[in-house]
């Protein structure tokens, strides 16, 4: 073994300096080697894509010593690791982020020059982003992984390697068209498949009872089918640290043994079918953001990745000969919404059926390990599984859930004797209508902490969503306000602003966003305000170019860029914004232009393919855009743009270019929002309701630097309880009447008065999201915006104060809070001994 050791790198030094040097020469050599040996290309005939691949492999090589040393450090040091379980990780493009966090952007640019590439952007352009998430929930998971690594906290993100992520969106004749997202075509250089760490997962079949060797009654599960989960690992490097955590995404494979059996009995096609069925498991992401479809394949996906992940955690203990009873000291398992909530039952099953623990011990371990984050109060988003479907797919889990529920309700009975109503309200089983499993109840009972994602939201969880649970376990409920990573959303997305910040306050803001407060001193410094504004203008010029290339619309970078980018949903009220645009259009048509600021109103976002109203809202916005942009009366005053295919990459262009951030959801409906934070950091002012994290953004940046409008959550509730009638609000507003009239006569649909009828009907019918109730106040706030825009120095000061006071919304702060109050984990610095 002595001679073998000599051939291995020394511990803490896995870097081969020849292959992984950090200077431009080494990066160039790495690229040349990868072109030749990995890609089979000559440098002379390499395409942009070849160069992207070569640079990515070269950068990946340079992560490897940090990645392997980090994994080895975590393995060797008995310290708690975070397991972040999420059905979505919307990680975005990887190359630029890894260059930034490694600190070799300049070197890469230098190396590219030798291939005749003048700008790194040319290469970044060709990167496919993995769309493994719908929106905020998936992006939050990605920001949290980046912050965990940057804070040097040992962590694994566990999820699914969907073969097809969120669809690509085309706009045809104003309608959304969905196109499959083939992100893996041509190979994705950032993943490391680990087939030797595959896990087996069962589905279906039945349970049977038996007596074990000690004479105890037990249940065992005989699944009728299996799938294999193959981990595909993505290194997640922290910012300028050695810590490199792991995102472990499971791909579903068919099981070989079943194939063999079928071959022997001659059922070749049957075998292939089962293989196809199990590979379907990780085939596609469900494109619903905040609506639950209750589909069997979705539950299968959830159990698949949760089971693989828990087996992986248990195996990590076994490998180190750590007793399974120690699980809570080594793993803290965070459930990102209820999508992985089956973990409560699956961990119990693994502990009881496979590791032979008794119920009480298994429950103690489960409860000490698991915590649950709720991300929505919308009833249509709360996961409920039809009991017969659940039993059919996971019969053993159903038995365990019944027992969890029985013991829990026993406890409740002791506390509230004779109160059957409260039992019905708290039960995991929903008995109303067809019986169903309420996943939020399972998660809440199984977890040691339940948190919401903004102060208001966490409060509403206690008051409205789970009041009986909050009364039973007040200490369990807490808040961790969301955050976003300043590395991607400022340092990488906004190089102009970053340069200015570096110059003014030094580079440490990137890891300590509270330092931005020093900018407050500059609020009256005209020189500095001009520099701040020109950084913004440069972002707007770039976006204007992109808009022209994508949509053919010419927009004026000196106009107010008024932006709403997020999933299209009625509760987010893109139609409220659209109505406001029509009102402005009418004013201009009527020659009332005195108080109007020149605006470019920009929309972007995808609608769930089955969500008719959301898709119609996209058509509606495009109908308005067509009319407005073709009307010479609007020149220099109003432009409307719908940006197709909004995703992480496009977000990186949009946030730095925005003056006004639209955060206009019905109060009480948006749990937090995270786009709102990205805008504020980049110096946009917010027009918004008192909803989600808007409340805290306004508190931090100052009410005078925020355009507030709309009914509060309690006013909305009151209105609803009184029997809300939108028509009473319409009756009081001439502008609203004129606006609705113009839509009804088909002004934005080539004279077709039917096309947008469903929008009119819903707004004048029961208007579930109180658009009519908030319209006038919204218009008033928009007038305030226009007025403020015209005093450009004042605007720039307000914008600067938004950036200066946005530090709280760094995901570093959120992650520190999770670490201290929920996970009880500490950083574990990683040492690399052989690098300079």
Return the number of the residue (381 or 387) whose C-beta is nearest ligand TH1: 381
- How do 707-708 and 685-688 pair as beta strands? parallel
Site string for ligand TH1, 355-384 (x = CB under 6 A): --------------------xx----x---
CB of 480 to ligand TH1, least distance (A): 10
Distance of alpha carbon 281 from its chain centroid, rounded? 21
C-alpha 669/C-alpha 389 separation (Å) is 30
Q: Annotated catalytic residue: which of 73, 481, 658, 674? A: 674
Per-residue contact track with ligand TH1, 270 to 289, x per CB under 6 A?
------------------xx
Complex with ligand TH1: residue 383 or 659, whichever CB lies closer: 383
Residue number, 452 or 623, with CB nearest to ligand TH1 = 452
**SS3 for 733?**
coil
Gap between the Cα atoms of 278 and 252, Å rounded: 6
Beta carbons of 179 and 167 less than 8 angstroms apart = yes
Q: How far is the CB of 806 from ligand TH1 (least distance, A)?
A: 16
424 is annotated as an active-site residue = no
The answer to whether 738 and 592 are in contact (CB under 8 A) is no
3-state secondary structure of 699: helix
- Tell me, rounded to whole angstroms, the distance of Cα 414 from its chain centroid: 41
- With contacts defined by CB under 6 A, name the span among 116-124, 225-233, 637-645, 665-673 that binds ligand TH1: 665-673
Q: Which of 330, 678, 700, 805 is catalytic?
A: 678
Q: Helix 95-102 crosses helix 48-76 at what angle (to 10 degrees)?
A: 60
Which residue in the set 150, 301, 482, 802 belongs to the binding site for ligand TH1 (CB under 6 A)?
482
- Listed ranges 92-100, 460-468, 666-674, 823-831: which one lies at the site for ligand TH1 (CB under 6 A): 666-674
> Could you give the 3-state DSSP secondary structure of residue 447?
coil
Binding to ligand TH1 by residue 136, rule CB under 6 A?
yes
Q: In terms of CB distance, is 147 or 672 closer to ligand TH1?
A: 672
Q: Does 340 bind ligand TH1 (CB under 6 A)?
A: no
Q: Which of 647, 674, 802, 810 binds ligand TH1 (CB under 6 A)?
A: 674
CA distances from 784 to 297, 455, 593, 676 (A): 49, 27, 14, 19
Catalytic residue among 34, 41, 572, 587: 572
User: Residue 536 catalytic?
Assistant: no
Closest C-alpha among 116, 108, 14, 7 to residue 57:
108
Taking the C-alpha atoms of residue 809 and residue 485, their distance in angstroms, rounded to an integer, is: 8
Extract the runs of DSSP E, i.e. beta strands, from 183-290: 192-193, 199-203, 206-211, 217-222, 225-237, 244-253
> How far apart are alpha carbons 442 and 438 in whole angstroms?
7
Q: What is the secondary structure of 585-630 as a DSSP string?
A: HHHHHTT--TTPPPEEEEEE-PPPTT-HHHHHHHHHHHHHHHHHHH
The reply to whether 73 belongs to the active site is: no
DSSP 205: S
Using an 8 Å Cβ cutoff, are 551 and 543 in contact?
no
Bridge-based pairing of strands 331-336 and 370-373 is: parallel
Contact 51, 31 (CB under 8 A): yes
* Residue among 566, 587, 700, 797 flagged as catalytic: 566
Q: Cα separation of 52 and 67, whole Å? A: 21
* Least distance CB 145 / ligand TH1 (angstroms): 14
Q: How far is the CB of 767 from ligand TH1 (least distance, A)?
A: 21
Closest distance of CB 683 from ligand TH1, Å: 21
Indicate if 678 belongs to the active site: yes
Q: Which of residues 439-458 bind ligand TH1 (CB under 6 A)?
A: 453
Q: Does 134 bind ligand TH1 (CB under 6 A)?
A: yes
Q: What is the smallest separation between the CB atom of 381 and ligand TH1, expressed in angstroms? A: 5
The least distance separating ligand TH1 from the CB of residue 511, rounded to whole angstroms, comes to 23
Q: Could you tell me if 281 and 297 are in contact, meaning their C-beta atoms sit under 8 angstroms apart? A: yes
Site for ligand TH1 in 286-325 (CB under 6 A): 288-290
Stretch that binds ligand TH1, among 172-180, 245-253, 664-672, 828-836 (CB under 6 A): 664-672
* Closest alpha carbon to 597 in 648, 556, 554, 541: 556
Residues that bind ligand TH1 (rule: CB under 6 A) add up to a total of 20
Q: Scan residues 560-579 and list those touching ligand TH1 (CB under 6 A).
A: none
180 is catalytic: no
Q: Segment near ligand TH1 (CB under 6 A), from 130-138, 528-536, 751-759, 795-803?
A: 130-138
Question: Which one of 1-9, 128-136, 351-359, 491-499 is the stretch in contact with ligand TH1 (CB under 6 A)?
Answer: 128-136
Catalytic residue among 62, 251, 375, 536: 375
What is the distance between the alpha carbons of residues 821 and 402, in angstroms, rounded to a whole number?
Answer: 31
Among 140, 142, 227, 466, binds ligand TH1 (CB under 6 A): 140
The binding track of 692-731 with respect to ligand TH1, each residue x by CB under 6 A or -, is x---------------------------------------
The three-class DSSP label of residue 128 is coil
Q: Which long-range contacts (CB under 8 A, 24 or more apart) does 471-478 make?
A: 472/412, 472/415, 472/426, 476/444, 476/447, 476/448, 476/449, 476/450, 477/449, 477/450, 477/451, 478/449, 478/450, 478/451, 478/821, 478/822
Nearer to ligand TH1, 674 or 810 (CB): 674
Q: What does R_g of the chain's alpha carbons equal in angstroms?
A: 28
**Residue in 31, 108, 137, 533 binding ligand TH1, rule: CB under 6 A:** 137
Residue 337 binds ligand TH1 (CB under 6 A): yes
Cα dihedral: 596, 592, 639, 777 (round 10): 60
Q: Is 567 tagged catalytic?
A: yes
- By annotation, the residues acting in catalysis are 375, 566-567, 572, 674, 678
- The residues that touch ligand TH1, with contacts defined as CB under 6 A, are 134-137, 140, 288-290, 337, 375-376, 381, 453, 482, 670-674, 692
């Amino acid at each position: 073994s002595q001679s073998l050791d000599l051939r291995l790198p020394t511990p803490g030094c896995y870097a081969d300096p020849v292959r992984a040097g950090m200077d431009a020469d080494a990066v160039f050599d790495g690229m040349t080697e990868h072109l030749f040996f990995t890609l089979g290309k000559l440098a002379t005939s390499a395409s942009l894509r070849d160069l992207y691949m070569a640079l990515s492999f070269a950068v990946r090589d340079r992560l490897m010593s940090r990645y392997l040393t980090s994994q080895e450090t975590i393995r060797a040091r008995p310290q708690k690791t975070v397991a972040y379980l999420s059905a979505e990780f919307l990680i975005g493009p990887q190359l630029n982020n890894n260059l930034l966090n490694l600190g070799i952007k300049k070197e890469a640019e230098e190396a590219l020059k030798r291939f005749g590439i003048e700008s790194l952007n040319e290469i970044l352009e060709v990167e496919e982003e993995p769309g493994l998430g719908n929106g905020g929930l998936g992006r939050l998971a990605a920001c949290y992984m980046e912050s965990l690594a940057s804070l040097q906290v040992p962590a694994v993100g566990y999820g699914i390697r969907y073969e097809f992520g969120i669809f690509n969106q085309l706009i045809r004749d104003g309608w959304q068209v969905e196109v499959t997202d083939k992100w893996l075509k041509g190979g994705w250089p950032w993943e490391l498949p680990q087939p030797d760490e595959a896990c087996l997962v069962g589905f279906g079949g039945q349970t049977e009872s038996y007596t074990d060797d000690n004479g105890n009654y037990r249940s065992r599960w005989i699944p009728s089918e299996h799938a294999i989960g193959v981990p595909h690992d993505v290194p997640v490097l922290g910012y300028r640290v050695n810590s490199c955590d792991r995102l472990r995404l499971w791909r579903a494979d068919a099981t070989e043994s079943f194939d063999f059996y079928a071959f022997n009995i001659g059922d070749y096609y049957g075998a292939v079918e089962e293989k196809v069925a199990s590979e379907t498991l990780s085939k596609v992401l469900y494109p619903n953001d905040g609506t639950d479809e209750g589909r069997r394949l979705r539950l299968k996906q959830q159990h698949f990745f949760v089971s693989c992940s828990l087996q992986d955690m248990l195996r990590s203990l076994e490998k180190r000969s750590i007793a399974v009873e120690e699980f809570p000291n080594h793993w803290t398992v965070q459930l990102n919404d209820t999508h992985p909530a089956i973990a409560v039952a699956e961990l119990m099953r693994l502990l009881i059926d496979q590791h032979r623990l008794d119920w009480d011990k298994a429950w103690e371990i489960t409860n000490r390990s698991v915590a649950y984050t709720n991300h929505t109060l919308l009833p249509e988003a709360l996961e409920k599984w039809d009991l017969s479907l659940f039993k059919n797919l996971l019969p053993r889990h159903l038995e365990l859930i019944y027992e969890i529920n029985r013991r829990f309700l026993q406890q409740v009975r002791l506390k509230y004797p004779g109160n059957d109503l409260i039992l019905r309200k708290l039960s995991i089983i929903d008995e109303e209508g067809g019986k169903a499993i309420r996943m939020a109840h399972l998660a809440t009972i199984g977890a040691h902490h339940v948190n919401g994602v903004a102060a208001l939201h966490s409060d509403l969880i206690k008051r409205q969503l789970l009041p009986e649970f909050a009364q039973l376990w007040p200490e369990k409920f807490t808040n961790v306000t969301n955050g976003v990573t300043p590395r991607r959303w400022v340092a990488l997305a906004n190089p102009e602003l970053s340069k200015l910040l570096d110059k003014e306050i030094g580079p440490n803001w990137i890891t300590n966003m509270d330092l931005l407060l020093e900018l407050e001193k500059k609020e009256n410094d005209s020189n500095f305000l001009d520099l701040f504004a020109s950084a913004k203008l440069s972002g707007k010029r770039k976006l204007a170019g992109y808009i022209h290339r994508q949509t053919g619309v010419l927009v004026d970078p000196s106009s107010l860029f008024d932006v709403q980018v997020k999933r299209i949903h009625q509760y987010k009220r893109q139609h409220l914004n659209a109505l406001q645009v029509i009102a402005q259009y009418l004013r201009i048509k009527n020659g009332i232009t005195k108080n109007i600021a020149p605006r470019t109103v920009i929309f972007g976002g995808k609608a769930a393919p089955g969500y008719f109203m959301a898709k119609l809202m996209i058509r509606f916005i495009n109908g308005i855009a067509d009319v407005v942009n073709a009307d010479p009366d609007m020149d220099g005053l109003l432009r409307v743009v719908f940006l197709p295919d909004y995703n992480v990459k496009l977000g990186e262009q949009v946030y730095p270019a925005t003056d006004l951030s639209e955060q206009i959801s019905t109060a009480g409906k948006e749990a937090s929002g995270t786009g709102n934070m990205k805008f504020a950091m980049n110096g946009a002012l917010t027009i918004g309701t008192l909803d989600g994290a808007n409340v805290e953004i306004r508190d931090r940046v100052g009410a005078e630097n925020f355009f507030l409008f709309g009914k509060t959550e309690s006013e909305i509730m009151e209105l609803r309880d009184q029997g809300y009638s939108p028509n009473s609000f319409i009756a009081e507003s001439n502008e609203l009447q004129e606006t609705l009239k113009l839509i009804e006569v088909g002004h934005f649909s080539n004279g077709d008065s039917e096309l947008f009828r469903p929008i009119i009907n819903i707004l004048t019918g029961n208007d579930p999201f109180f658009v009519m109730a908030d319209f006038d106040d919204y218009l008033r706030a928009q007038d305030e915006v226009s007025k403020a825009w015209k005093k450009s120095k004042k605007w720039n000061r307000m914008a600067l104060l938004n950036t200066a006071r946005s530090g709280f919304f760094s995901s570093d702060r959120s992650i520190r809070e999770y670490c201290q109050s929920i996970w009880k984990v500490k950083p574990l610095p990683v040492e690399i001994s052989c690098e300079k």
